[in-house]
Amino acid sequence: MTPVYLDNNATTRVADEVLEAMLPYFTEFYGNPSSMHTFGGQVASQIQKARQQVASLLGAASSDEILFTSCGTESDAAAVHAALRAFPERKHLITSTVEHPAIKALFEKLGKEGFRITTIPVDDRGRLNMDLLEKSLDEDTAIVSMMWANNETGTLFPVEAIGKLCREKGILFHTDAVQAVGKIPMDLKTMPIDLLSLSGHKLHAPKGVGALYIRKGTPFTPFIVGGHQEHGRRAGTENVASIIGLGRACLLAEEKMAEENTRVRAMRDRLEKELLSRIPKCFVNGDLDARLPNTCSISFEYIEGEAILLMMNQYGICASSGSACTSGSLEPSHVLRAMGVPHTAAHGTIRFSLSIYNTEAEMDAVIEKLPPIVKRLREMSPFWSEA
């Protein structure tokens, strides 16, 4: 059965162009870019090309501002720790209530180590409380870290406005843009963002490669020490093929940006509209006015998400759930809870996330298969008859 893959916020398929660009670097050009011979050295120039491709997608002023890492989580950790070392006297950190675990768990750990952590809440549509953010910034604040796009709902934070507030107070601003990069246009050279994390496998590059944007002039000390790779900012032999793949994927994303925001968006909107009209008692989560073009988070009341996913799995439909039961934790997603989504619905939340590889026929499959699944599970639910 060919999967109907609608879980692209979890990971994406590697694009053919990307794989093709990578392959020679496994068996043909396998030299170490740090070597003193041409065979190795020629690889370094390809890494440099990839760096430019990443910088171009981000609209960065210079490719020197791009640091390759192993993943989004490493980029996040490197950014936050660099800020803490740059301002050792500052003991206050600010984030939001809806961050990815890469930031959430890091801040919780730093909180236990004695840092003062402020987590800014969101409203019922996932919009950040900007007043509270402004009031929370103080002289003791070392860094503000706010995601650009939410992985569960696709809600976009106003990073430009957040960065502006931080800059006025001389506070570093980091954004986890893992879900945003490649899906929405960005122009970092004109934006008040100091540090930005991205991950390769969310934009059709392989797993195991990421990058950190470090605006020129931002204090930075390495998180991983050792050799002099990445201009001494991140030690460790480069993941050459994947870095080249990430560069190629960024070029592809630039080429497909318009399609992502037109064809993909239209498919997502149709899927959402059809499901809402065919299924009673369901609603879409997130800020409908500021949202990624590919993400749809939809809550089906009185049923549980894992059961929905496993029934869709019968038809090869791949999505994910905000339900507790899929994660091993017993509480539904912290993002939905922070938005105040009631328990009657939070457990039954499904996230569809599309990519350029999806087709209208795949949307039709979901539109046909999902309504009877929801109906069947509701007939089993003790809460449905009372609803």
Partner 1 sequence: MWDYTDKVREHFLNPRNVGEVENPDGIGEVGSIACGDALKLTFRLGDDKKIAEAKFKTFGCASAIASSSALTEMIIGKTLEEAENISNENIAEFLGGLPKEKIHCSVMGQEALEKAIAYYRGEPEKVLEGEIVCHCFNVTDVDIQRAVKEKGLKTLEDVTGYLKAGGGCGNCHEEISNIIKASQGISIMEPKKPAAGLTNLQKIRKIEETLEIEIKPALMRDGGNIELVDVDGNRVLVRLQGACATCSRSRITLKDHVEARLRTLVAHDLVVEEA
Task: Report the interface residues with partner 1, using CB under 8 A.
Answer: 97, 108, 119, 121-122, 124, 302-307, 310-311, 314, 323-326, 328-332, 334, 337-338, 340, 342-344, 347, 379-383, 385
CB-CB contact of 288 with 125 (8 Å): yes
The SS3 of residue 351 is: strand
Minimum Å gap between C-beta 4 and partner 1 is: 17
Distance CA 204, CA 12 (A): 5
Instruction: Give the nearer residue to partner 1 in terms of CB position, either 36 or 330.
Output: 330
Instruction: Give the nearer residue to partner 1 in terms of CB position, either 59 or 342.
Output: 342
Cα Dmax for the chain: 75
Instruction: Give the nearer residue to partner 1 in terms of CB position, either 221 or 326.
Output: 326
Active site residue 296: no
Instruction: Give the nearer residue to partner 1 in terms of CB position, either 357 or 383.
Output: 383
Per the rule left: phi > 0, alpha: psi between -120 and 50, beta: everything else, 152 is alpha
One-letter amino acid identity for 120?
I
The SS3 of residue 194 is: coil
CB-CB contact of 18 with 204 (8 Å): yes
CB-CB contact of 175 with 159 (8 Å): yes
Minimum Å gap between C-beta 106 and partner 1 is: 14
- What single DSSP character describes residue 13? P
Distance CA 69, CA 234 (A): 8
Which listed residue (166, 250, 296, 325) is catalytic? 325
H or E element, residue 142 = strand 141-145
- State both tokens at 174: 């980091």
Instruction: Give the nearer residue to partner 1 in terms of CB position, either 29 or 384.
Output: 384
Tell me the three-class secondary structure of 59-87, residue by residue.
Answer: CCCCHHHEEEECCHHHHHHHHHHHHHHHC
Instruction: Give the nearer residue to partner 1 in terms of CB position, either 121 or 185.
Output: 121
Indicate which residues carry an active-site annotation.
Answer: 325
